[in-house]
Structure 1
Amino acid sequence: MSLNTAHAQNNGVVIYAGERILIFYNAIEMTFEGPNIPHFKGKKKGRIYLTTHRMIFTSTEGKDALQSFSFPFLNLREVELEQPIFGANYIKGRIIAEQGGNWNGEANFKMHFNHGGAIEFGQCMLTAAKLASRNRPAQPPPYSPPTGPIYQAPPPAYEAPHTQYYDWVPYQTFPTAPPAEYVYTYDAPPPYPGVDPNAAVYPPPYAAGNATGNNAKEREAAASAYYNPSNPHNAYLPQQQNGFSQPPPSYDDATKKQN
């Protein structure tokens, strides 16, 4: 699990190349109990993304010390679905820090769904974690922070696959995809297995197009286009704005901004 490494500016989320968002939920409230650091104090309001490799929380509170929190399936323990007689359903569990993930030890978390969906989300997440565990390494790899530029992700990163393999995802409960301008990616593939080891990795935008290398304009266009082989007459053109071409701030930088 890594702290403050999966967000971009303006509430954006940063995912690995080839990682896909399965569920997006825009009204989550989280609490943490663990190491005595400011980032875990208080209630955290924001968005939750269930991907093919992990859960990602991003804060909608710009001044909160915790701006993003990554939950790789390999680091989750004792996840349970709670249905209290009074109050909203929620998910609770334990998360173990990744080596190099900007914190140490382990923490307990509770994830409240303000508009329903906790049971469906939790069941889907447990299925995803079970599928990902088939190729679980003996020792999870250390975390490596994003390096190099990030860019707006191509549509396969956030559009529902809607194939038979993903028929366990409750798209009827969570039909909303995250806004395209919130989803960013970079070159590195996920360092741990996902739910589908045979999934094709979508090409990064800069690899698309047919630039010859002799024309700077062609290279620039190729660097910002996503080519879909199944729809060869159209190209997806990602946008870069407000400094999104830079990696998310480091743990130290995020901390300094709160002081």
Structure 2
Amino acid sequence: MSLNTSHTPDGNGVLIYNGEMILLYITDVKLKFEKYDVKSFKSTKSGALYLTSHRIIFMNSSKKDDFKSFAMPFHSFRDVKLEQPLLAPNYLKGWVQPIPGGNFDGCPEWRLSFPKGGCIEFGQALLRAADLASRSRPFSAPPAYGALIPEPQQQTYYQAAPTYYYAQQGAYQGFQAPTNVFPEQPPAGNVYIYDIPPPYPGIGQTTPYPSGQFQAVGTVPAPPAYVNVPQATQPGYNPNVVPPAYSQQPPQQQAAPLPNKEAL
């Protein structure tokens, strides 16, 4: 996961990788962290949630909060569960691991709630997307070393093409987005892209637009996992390592595990 690396300098636009597709856009989502004693993480955040072909991105609606954006790649999730309390809305919870250059350390427990409904549908979509991403390139496989930037540097970003804003009708690389539950689309002109592809697995094969096809908007620091990651330190690829195990434990009181992929 990474903090404050997925928004434009003015804080008004979401910033994705070249070749990353936005599949769902949801407003009025609540994000809360448990068991993590860092000041900027203590309060409940309200904002918009993007489910992309590679990760979740949360954009804080508060302009005064130092916490602007928060991203969780699929390969960083651990122990995802659905909680169903009696007197409060359903919510998803899980653990997430940091990624290189992500602006923080530690493994906080996150909670996502949907006051307008759709928690179960989003949970099913999230696990389905993570499963498809692990099939495309196993989560244990190292990133493409040729794309890694050896030293921190500025990266150009561009206004995204309309095809990045939402999934086309029908399935995307085998993924069917529940747009009947989440019909909203990102505001026009609110999505921007790096000139580099994602450094971690996503659904299907990433197909970046040719470099320089769109007019540059500005520059930002190099994104997470592209900064100071020497090849020698990368984990070896073991094809026998399975994707992160989502919760297979019996549900706790007033809680139920999310359906597995066979139930989708």
Mark yes or no: TM-score above 0.5. Answer: yes
Equivalent pair of 2:129/2:175 in contact (CA under 8 Å)? no
What residue is the counterpart of 1:3 in the other structure?
A: 3
AA aligned to 1:180 is: A
Please give the per-residue CA displacement for 1:133-160, whole angstroms capped at 9, x wherever unaligned.
1212426659978832212110111122
From the superposition, tell whether residues 42 and 22 of structure 1 become closer, same or farther in structure 2 (CA, over 3 Å).
same
Equivalent pair of 2:83/2:92 in contact (CA under 8 Å)? yes
Query: How many Å separate the matches in 1 of 2:14 and 2:189?
Result: 9
Work out the percentage of aligned pairs sharing the same amino acid.
42
Q: Matched residue of 2:29: which SS?
A: strand
AA aligned to 1:182 is: N
Query: How many Å separate the matches in 2 of 1:196 and 1:105?
Result: 30
Equivalent pair of 2:157/2:218 in contact (CA under 8 Å)? yes
1:82 is displaced (CA, Å) by 1.9
Task: Give aligned pairs, total.
Answer: 216
1:34 is displaced (CA, Å) by 4.2
Equivalent pair of 1:152/1:180 in contact (CA under 8 Å)? no
Q: Matched residue of 1:181: which SS?
A: coil
Equivalent pair of 2:14/2:190 in contact (CA under 8 Å)? yes
1:63 is displaced (CA, Å) by 1.3
Please give the per-residue CA displacement for 1:191-246, whole angstroms capped at 9, x wherever unaligned.
0111112x543445x32xxxxxxxxxxxxxxx43xxxxxxxxxxxxxxx8xxx523
Are 1:46 and 2:47 matched, yes or no?
Answer: yes
From the superposition, tell whether residues 130 and 249 of structure 1 become closer, same or farther in structure 2 (CA, over 3 Å).
closer
Equivalent pair of 1:59/1:66 in contact (CA under 8 Å)? yes
Matches within 5 A, 1:86-97: 86-97=87-98
The partner residue of 1:181 within 167, 189, 197 is: 189
What residue is the counterpart of 2:218 in the other structure?
A: 245
Instruction: Tell which deviates more after alignment, 54-63 or 176-185.
Output: 176-185
Please give the per-residue CA displacement for 1:28-74, whole angstroms capped at 9, x wherever unaligned.
11111244222211111111100000000111111112111110000
Q: RMSD between aligned alpha carbons?
A: 2.6
TM-score (ref. length: structure 2): 0.74
Larger Rg: 1
Divergent runs of 4+, >3 A: 139-147, 163-167, 199-204, 248-251
From the superposition, tell whether residues 80 and 177 of structure 1 become closer, same or farther in structure 2 (CA, over 3 Å).
same
What residue is the counterpart of 2:114 in the other structure?
A: 113
Higher helix fraction: Structure 1 or Structure 2? 1
Are 1:169 and 2:177 matched, yes or no?
Answer: yes
Query: How many Å separate the matches in 2 of 1:13 and 1:49?
Result: 9
Q: Matched residue of 1:129: which SS?
A: helix
Query: How many Å separate the matches in 1 of 2:2 and 2:185?
Result: 24
What residue is the counterpart of 2:256 in the other structure?
A: none
What residue is the counterpart of 1:75 in the other structure?
A: 76
From the superposition, tell whether residues 167 and 19 of structure 1 become closer, same or farther in structure 2 (CA, over 3 Å).
closer
From the superposition, tell whether residues 162 and 202 of structure 1 become closer, same or farther in structure 2 (CA, over 3 Å).
farther
Instruction: Tell which deviates more after alignment, 33-42 or 50-59.
Output: 33-42
From the superposition, tell whether residues 137 and 79 of structure 1 become closer, same or farther in structure 2 (CA, over 3 Å).
closer
Higher relative contact order (CA 8 A, sep 6+): 2
Equivalent pair of 1:90/1:113 in contact (CA under 8 Å)? yes
Q: Matched residue of 1:131: which SS?
A: helix
Equivalent pair of 1:57/1:70 in contact (CA under 8 Å)? yes
AA aligned to 1:183 is: V
Equivalent pair of 1:11/1:59 in contact (CA under 8 Å)? no
- Runs (5+) with no aligned partner, structure 2: 225-264
Equivalent pair of 1:7/1:248 in contact (CA under 8 Å)? no
Query: How many Å separate the matches in 2 of 1:249 and 1:65?
Result: 19
1:21 is displaced (CA, Å) by 0.4
